[in-house]
Amino acid sequence: MENIMKSFKNNSMQWRYFKQSIFFGAVRLSAFIIALALGGILFYIIVNGIGAISWDFITKPPTDSMTKGGIMPAILGTIYLTIGAIAVGLPLGIVSAIYLTEYARQGKVIRLIKVGINCLAGVPSVVFGLFGLGFFVIFLKFGSSILSGSLTLGFLILPTIIGASEEALKSVPQTFREASLSLGVSKWQTIYRIVLPNALPGILTGSILGIGRAAGETAPIMFTAAAYFTAKLPGSIFDEVMALPYHIYVLATAGTNIEATRPIQFGTVLVLVAVVLSIDLIAIIIRSYMRKNKRW
């Protein structure tokens, strides 16, 4: 009897080990598939695009009806729009998050606002583009410009920034706030001196990842900022610009000679991916720096 019990126990252990190895295998496989997909895309882009990359390609404007030359105005345009989106989205998002987590009395109204923000995150980017066209370009008469595009992109990434900021603010221990307030320091000073500095790395990491996404968006800028072609560089925020995502779209669908510009298209895609990934890299560097310094 004892022997039977023992072998049954052993069997059940073996069965559990077997189940565990199947589960581990499945988990490992799915991680592998994701890595493979990313690697495949990158490999395909690099192989096809690397030939087009040269110093002239990234420093010269397009020539011959965009079938030759470089993409410098588009790179610069994307950088301007990204900086503009940060300038619009980051302050507004952080301030909103501070209000929602630190000041607002938690209740129905706040819940409703939070649901609204989440819905905003789910709105398709082309809708943001149309909103930008209707409101910034036409109603406020900003025209198709860096300003309109930055505002539109800024609003597009607002939910991401608010979400990241809320999480970062909530992760600052309540005991820090209590300690500061118990010293007779005012609420605003407590937020400004204690809460915000400790939340900032988290806010920046989350926000930059959102901004990286926005930098690659086409729909929000095609009505609000992006020019089909302009060799002239923008002189002010009221000028329109070329931008990498829209340039790719134009070359691939509406160019004068789509087949002939394939290498340029791949080259532009490669540059865009490089820009987005380097924005993500900044976020990763900030995060690792934050982890090193976090002590509570």
DSSP 3-state of 245: helix
CB of 95 to another protein, least distance (A): 21
* Residues forming a β-bridge with 241: 226
CB of 179 to another protein, least distance (A): 5
CB of 169 to another protein, least distance (A): 15
Give the distance from CA 261 to its chain's centroid: 28
User: Cβ distance 142 to 238 under 8 Å?
Assistant: yes
Nearer to another protein, 30 or 186 (CB): 186
CB of 294 to another protein, least distance (A): 8
Nearer to another protein, 45 or 290 (CB): 290
The residue count of the chain comes to: 296
* Residues forming a β-bridge with 69: 62
Nearer to another protein, 102 or 280 (CB): 102
CA distance linking residue 125 with residue 132, whole number of Å: 11
Nearer to another protein, 158 or 172 (CB): 172
CA distance linking residue 85 with residue 80, whole number of Å: 9
Indicate the DSSP class of residue 241. B
Which residues would be at the binding site for another protein (CB under 8 A)? 105-106, 173, 175-186, 189, 193-194, 198, 295-296
Tokens of 258: 């789509």
Nearer to another protein, 56 or 178 (CB): 178
Residue 112: Cβ within 10 Å count: 10
CB of 102 to another protein, least distance (A): 11
